[in-house]
Amino acid sequence: MARLLTVGAAQLGPIQRDHTRAAVVERLIALLHQAASQHVELVVYPELALTTFFPRWFVEDIAEADHWYERSMPNEATQPLFDEARRLGIGFCLGYALLDGDGHRWNVQTLVERDGCEVATFKKVHIPGHEHHEPDRPFQHAERYYFEPSPDGFGVWDAFGGRVGMMICNDRRWPESYRVMGLQGVELILCGYNTPIHYVPDPSQDILQGFHNALVMQSGAYQNGTWVVGVAKGGVEEGVDSLGQSLIVAPSGQIVAQALSTDDELIVARCDLDWCRRYKETLFDFTRYRRPELYGIIADTGD
């Protein structure tokens, strides 16, 4: 019997600076209701889904940015989402900024099962952008100021009837992200993103944003025999245009669903997790065909 899981990628349009958590949570719940009407079992929301993409602004005193971070999950603002998802029997994956009890700042995604139990909270591994204020930029991308990189790396969890992994935005551009999860038998990778169309260090890449987005997720899916769900916060947010084009990719590398707008939009795919075996047990039978003894340089830290 096929292991079928109906997955929804709940793309968000822009969240402006003055939009309250309560208003955003209402939008998340509206998408959840659409998902319920299409018998979706797992809804995936974008990176930093509760606020605007605040790393576009620099503050001298980082404490001035504390209000963008969650202190716990769920909390008062997000409890209605957790309650409604549990009532509907839908699991979800939610991206947000976390300021933990030890004062560490993380860019995270929390995965919640259909019964409301937390599966895991994943911390972003590859933190892009810059550490310091760069006054010549039209907007900042100071993620390296606002977030620490994960010390944990990429895990995979038994959930939703399969092996589920997570990555966040820039992680999707790195083949190692997929491969580390692939080596743990991943069957479904969940990835939220915020990708400005304008790439300040090399604007010649602007026109290629959509191509690169699909390229990395399609190749990562195929080369590791896994489903990949990529979910954008798109549209013009505080004057910065960001990529939509949320997509769901099959283990064949084919796109089976893609968002058409840059607004709040749900796309849905019925994912057969057993499809992964067609690739994991043939072309990408790692045990049979990989040559790890020749790949040492990939993980060499140069120490």
Active site residue 271: no
Query: Strand locations in 81-234, DSSP E?
Result: 91-99, 105-112, 118-123, 156-159, 162-168, 188-193, 227-232
Active site residue 233: no
Distance CA 210, CA 44 (A): 20
Active site residue 47: yes
Which three-class secondary structure state does DSSP give residue 62?
helix
Interface size with ligand CDT, residues (CB under 6 A): 10
> Which one, 193 or 279, has the nearer CB to ligand CDT?
193
Q: Determine the Cα angle at 55 with ends 51 and 21, to 5°.
A: 10
Binding string, 13-52, against ligand CDT, x = CB under 6 A?
A: ----------------------------------x-----
Cβ 3 to ligand CDT shortest distance, Å? 31
Edge-to-edge strand list for the sheet holding 91-99: 118-123, 105-112, 91-99, 42-44, 4-11, 265-272
The yes or no reply on residue 169 touching ligand CDT (CB under 6 A) is: yes
Longest dimension (CA), the chain: 58
> Which one, 194 or 226, has the nearer CB to ligand CDT?
194
Distance CA 268, CA 40 (A): 7
> Which residue shows structure tokens 């599966």?
119
Considering only the stretches 38-46, 98-106, 169-177, 255-263, report the one whose residues sit in contact with ligand CDT under the rule CB under 6 A: 169-177
The yes or no reply on residue 128 touching ligand CDT (CB under 6 A) is: yes
The yes or no reply on residue 193 touching ligand CDT (CB under 6 A) is: yes
Residues 171-190 that bind ligand CDT (CB under 6 A): 173
The yes or no reply on residue 170 touching ligand CDT (CB under 6 A) is: yes
CB atoms within 10 A of CB 152: 11
Binding site residues, ligand CDT, CB under 6 A: 47, 128-129, 141, 169-170, 173, 193-195
